[in-house]
Structure 1
């Protein structure tokens, strides 16, 4: 699972707080143990030494009770005066627990006598338990505060970044657009300034492309109007049948040039900016017209063209769909030697299928790029690249499925343009 920057920052802060608090708690516990083992033991050793020297001349066993300690001087073979719970311990310091009572026991064998000093440390054990409980509760409290503070701190640290992302997401795609937010003079501010310069540059290039498309379209329309006028004059001069056929071909090519000019002008605009300016036509009517235009070339190659429709037929942008059909049919006829080409029109998609040579797997990933040709990878293939650009512009989805002939399986290519998001996601 990939964590966001906010989650990672909060996780690191929590880890630092947990680790620090655990180390501090462990240090405090070790300090308590050191205090108990070192200071108490040294104090008992000193008291026991004093008692031994003070009662060294005492010839009889001795029991000397004090405020919280009791001193025992016993014969090695007779420890009846020593409580049973304290008997049998070797020399050194020991801790004895009896129910809810705790004792420090110090035993020393010296001059033929057993010297025992017993100290009641039940009160200290209660304080120690309270201290450990407090340390545990303190650690839990620090963890809770650390979680709250790390959450607020991560939000505060990433707030400028979130503001920058939100402003970028709503930045209008038009010349002159720039970031207006105020960002701190740190990495976030540096990123905002760099992105602002990048946006200005991209919008400048977009404006140049739009201006070039508009200027080129205007100039080409002027030339095409001159050609159209010349064709009309030649048509009125009652030319021969052969010249009339040539004039008809020129007129058809001129019509296609006008459609292509309008197409490229529309592709230079955003879908929102040209909404309402793009005429809609029935996809079936457009497909029939394009199949009729390509029928002579297909017949000369021995290919059959078929149209399959499923109602209801969608309405599509005229110039955009004419370009899509032209390019797909041109590619299908060019790369099909025998067999047929079928065009399927449904409410959700347009599909062009052929029985051509197919496309290899490694070339399928690149075939929609500009300059990649199926027939010649070093050629200047633009057909599918234009179709892909149109689909991206209109929010359609282009899918290509193909298999090259291998002696056992038939070859062929299917190019599908999905119109709706409800269409099958598989390609």
Structure 2
């Protein structure tokens, strides 16, 4: 459990536990030493008093000269009759506890006779309790002080690490001109960590730049042949062609148009650096939906599917036409591929839209994976590579939108896109 705690808290816990163990051991050693010294000193004192009583007081017929807290007993002297509870004690020093009372007892046997000195521990116990309370207070104060000192040390130790983490998380670190982090820290463990981050971030910047240049170059180079294909399709559309040839021309034109839109999307994403904000636009959700309905409704109905576009709420936001069109187009294409019969619905609402179908649906355990590149459903159809939903996820992440999928009863899927407020 401690390993899962934040590092600063682990430092405080470790510091406090160390102090707890050391202070506890020190306090216990004090208690043990006090008890040992108590036994030795009291035993020696009672032994000397017993010698005095036996060698001086009793031979002279005088009562033992003892203080008020000490009493003398002898087994053969009626005046100092020995209580029954003391007769069974072993010879030597003993501590006797009876209820709330505690006594020091010293027993000496001489010629079959037993002599006993009993001293009340009340005063000594009072002083001992004061000492133990002081030790306990010192122990508790040391633990509290260790916690406070550990917290201060943790804050000071973690300050450069926290600062480094904030700098690494900042989006400006992916900028090619971002200053090195290692120069801002001394040559210690944190400085070495900053140098490692510099190396990794440098490699990441190079990789992102190569990807951006590749995507931009490929997309740019594809625009010219695509425009040639689209121009040729327009010329063929104006010519007198047989019905089969015209159908093929329409398919080529539609495929070229889709590729042209994808190229535009890739160009926009490639030119938008990670540190830039969402791309704005001037297209409403209704306008984008109308264009996609005109494009996909014939294909859906041609497959025998019932298609409908429903407006449940009005959305007045302005969005990027190319990016929003690509998102909606990919979701409708996905519904077309995976729905063999039934209905496909495009539902527009305030702040977003959703695409519903009556296809086989997506199991709950696979729903998150469907947005990963090259991942296709269990009943994959067509010649797709599993990049459509991945592109949708990437566009939504860049624009600040969210896309999710859920199962529809009794079967089917619902892809919902929640649109943020794009800058106009």
TM-score bin, normalised by smaller chain: 0.7 to 0.9
Distance in 2 between the 1:358 and 1:75 partners?
A: 100
Distance in 2 between the 1:46 and 1:394 partners?
A: 95
Q: Is the 8 A contact 2:278 2:398 kept in 1?
A: no
Larger helix percent: 2
Q: Is the 8 A contact 1:161 1:188 kept in 2?
A: yes
Alignment RMSD: 3.8
Q: Which residue of 1 aligns with 2:176?
A: 175
Asked if 1:217 corresponds to 2:222, the answer is: no
Bigger RCO of structures 1 and 2 (CA < 8 A, at least 6 apart): 2
Q: Which residue of 1 aligns with 2:283?
A: 281
Number of residues paired by the alignment?
Answer: 407
Distance in 1 between the 2:338 and 2:96 partners?
A: 97
Asked if 1:388 corresponds to 2:393, the answer is: yes
Shift of residue 39, structure 1, vs aligned partner: 3.0
Distance in 2 between the 1:413 and 1:123 partners?
A: 85
Which aligned pairs between 1:35-184 and structure 2 lie closer than 5 A?
35-49=37-51, 51-53=53-55, 58=59, 61-65=61-65, 76-79=76-79, 89-90=86-87, 92=91, 93=93, 104-111=104-111, 114-117=114-117, 124-172=124-172, 173-177=174-178, 178-180=180-182, 182-183=184-185
Shift of residue 41, structure 1, vs aligned partner: 0.6
Measured against aligned partners, the alpha-carbon deviations of 1:11-39 in whole angstroms (never above 9, x if no partner) come to 22212212221221111111111111123
Q: Label 1:410 to 1:26 Cα distance change in 2 as closer, same or farther (>3 A).
A: closer
- Structure 1 runs not aligned, ≥5 long: 404-408, 422-427
Q: Is the 8 A contact 2:278 2:400 kept in 1?
A: no
Distance in 2 between the 1:220 and 1:53 partners?
A: 122
Distance in 2 between the 1:120 and 1:399 partners?
A: 82
Shift of residue 309, structure 1, vs aligned partner: 0.7
Which aligned pairs between 1:176-215 and structure 2 lie closer than 5 A?
176-177=177-178, 178-180=180-182, 182-183=184-185, 185-215=187-217
Equivalent residue of 2:283, what SS?
strand
Q: Is the 8 A contact 2:175 2:275 kept in 1?
A: no
**Which 10-residue stretch deviates more, 167-176 or 65-74?**
65-74
**Which 10-residue stretch deviates more, 214-223 or 330-339?**
214-223
Q: Label 1:96 to 1:22 Cα distance change in 2 as closer, same or farther (>3 A).
A: same
Q: Is the 8 A contact 1:311 1:346 kept in 2?
A: yes
Q: Label 1:351 to 1:107 Cα distance change in 2 as closer, same or farther (>3 A).
A: same
Q: Label 1:116 to 1:228 Cα distance change in 2 as closer, same or farther (>3 A).
A: closer
Distance in 1 between the 2:141 and 2:302 partners?
A: 86
**Which 10-residue stretch deviates more, 176-185 or 155-164?**
176-185
- Structure 2 runs not aligned, ≥5 long: none
Give TM-score, length-normalised by structure 1. Answer: 0.80
Which aligned pairs between 1:3-22 and structure 2 lie closer than 5 A?
3-22=5-24
Q: Label 1:124 to 1:249 Cα distance change in 2 as closer, same or farther (>3 A).
A: closer
